Amino acid sequence: MKTILITGGAGFIGSHVVRRFVKKYSDYQIINMDLLTYAGNLENLTDIDSMPNYTFVRGDITDIEMVNKIFDAYRIEGVVHLAAESHVDRSITDPAAFIRTNIFGTFNLLHAAKEHWKGNMEGKLFYHISTDEVYGSLGDTGLFTETTSYDPKSPYSASKASSDHLVRAYFNTFHLPVLISNCSNNYGPNQFPEKLIPLCIHNLQHLKPIPVYGKGENIRDWLYVEDHAAAIDVIFHRGMIGETYNIGGNNEWTNIALIRALCDVMDQKLGRAQGTSQQLIAFVKDRAGHDMRYAIDSSKIQEELGWKPSLQFEEGLSKTVDWYLENSDWLENVSSGAYEKYYDKQYNQR
């Protein structure tokens, strides 16, 4: 029996990771620690929350007493750390929360792991989930590799870069067994509608304008979230301690091309005349310091660990739109803040 702490497991990517681990590894005890900020939602996990190898703990990674309590109570042997403030736009309006959670929170977890595993690091693992944004912004050519220099440009990416440095410092200084992966843009079910794809789906459903920052020429490399969860599984089990792995979809799109493709999928699925949704495209003021292009070279994880993306983008986009259309209650609830009521009902009124 292995007891694994997954932080941020009620969020977008975290919920897919929790589901995968709980279902696939019945001999693991999965502890999901999540503060349930606006981005965390227990509705993401209703299909697995009564499984015997799953426990949810509401807790803040910036609270060292809470983190220590969890390490003590559950004798944590592995950590998959996803909890973070994750939205670039919010890091521009409220950077303090990013510094607190992403830097200080990661430090607390590292410190707790080091103190609890002192003298017996055998079989222990601290796996930190990071982003390709730490590498900054690419020009027209080139790809981010694991040795690309860090050059973060937003408070979000600077806070993630800082947390990556802390993880490496704990490896070098204290021999904490660590792994890091840096992934490109994820999309798929359960993503909070502040992010581009679910925001567009939500607006298009309600025939509201689609806000495209600047000229829409910025490029992102999109990966289906379950492919990211599969990569995390592979790295957790087979990654070399101390190593970093880049994860990407080899799937670059300008924002405007992606939005046009999404508009066409929405028209088709909603039975609207082709071109209806594209008329809602509205160019708006650019994001401050907007990174131009991200693109990942994922040959290391492909060659060394045998992972590769399983879905073509067209298929992934179609599955994603289907999920949001079939789960419009989920979308409306998270858009209205009703998921806090869900938490109360689930835990406080028992």
Q: Give, in degrees to the nearest 5, the angle at Cα 50 between 48 and 52.
A: 100
Give which of ligand NAD, ligand DAU, none residue 113 binds (C-beta under 5 to 8 Å, depending on kind).
none
- Cα separation values, 51 from 21, 48, 178, Å: 12, 5, 28
Site string for ligand NAD, 102-131 (x = CB under 6 A): ---x-----------------------x-x
Strand order in the sheet with 219-224: 185-187, 219-224, 252-254
Instruction: Report whether 331 contacts 189 (CB < 8 A).
Output: no
Q: Which amino acid, residue 11? A: G
Considering only residues 29, 185, 250, 302, which one is a binding residue for ligand DAU as defined by CB under 6 A? 185
Site string for ligand DAU, 48-87 (x = CB under 6 A): --------------------------------------xx
Q: How far is the CB of 60 from ligand DAU (least distance, A)?
A: 19
**41 is a site residue for ligand DAU (CB under 6 A):** no
Nearer to ligand NAD, 229 or 280 (CB): 229
Which of 131, 80, 6, 16 lies closest to 236, judged by CA?
80
Q: Where are the beta strands (DSSP E) in 91-235?
A: 125-131, 178-183, 185-187, 210-213, 219-224
Considering only residues 48, 70, 83, 110, which one is a binding residue for ligand NAD as defined by CB under 6 A? 83
Catalytic residue among 156, 224, 245, 294: 156
Which of 181, 186, 184 lies closest to 234, judged by CA?
181
Site string for ligand NAD, 50-79 (x = CB under 6 A): ----------xxx-----------------
170 among known catalytic residues: no
131-157 per-residue burial string, b: 16 or more CB within 10 A, e: under 16: bbbbbbbbeeeebbebebeeebbbbbb
φ/ψ region of 40 (left if φ > 0, alpha if ψ in -120 to 50, else beta) reads: beta
**Other Cβ atoms closer than 10 A to 224:** 25
**10 is a site residue for ligand NAD (CB under 6 A):** yes
156 among known catalytic residues: yes
**136 is a site residue for ligand NAD (CB under 6 A):** no
136 secondary structure, DSSP code: -
Considering only residues 159, 218, 244, 246, which one is a binding residue for ligand DAU as defined by CB under 6 A? 218
Catalytic residue among 34, 132, 164, 291: 132
Place of tokens 């994880």: 301
**82 is a site residue for ligand NAD (CB under 6 A):** yes
Residues that bind ligand NAD (CB under 6 A): 7-8, 10-14, 34-37, 39-40, 60-62, 82-86, 101, 105, 129, 131, 160, 183, 185-186, 192
Residues that bind ligand DAU (CB under 6 A): 86-88, 131-133, 184-185, 195-196, 199, 211-213, 218, 220, 255, 287, 294
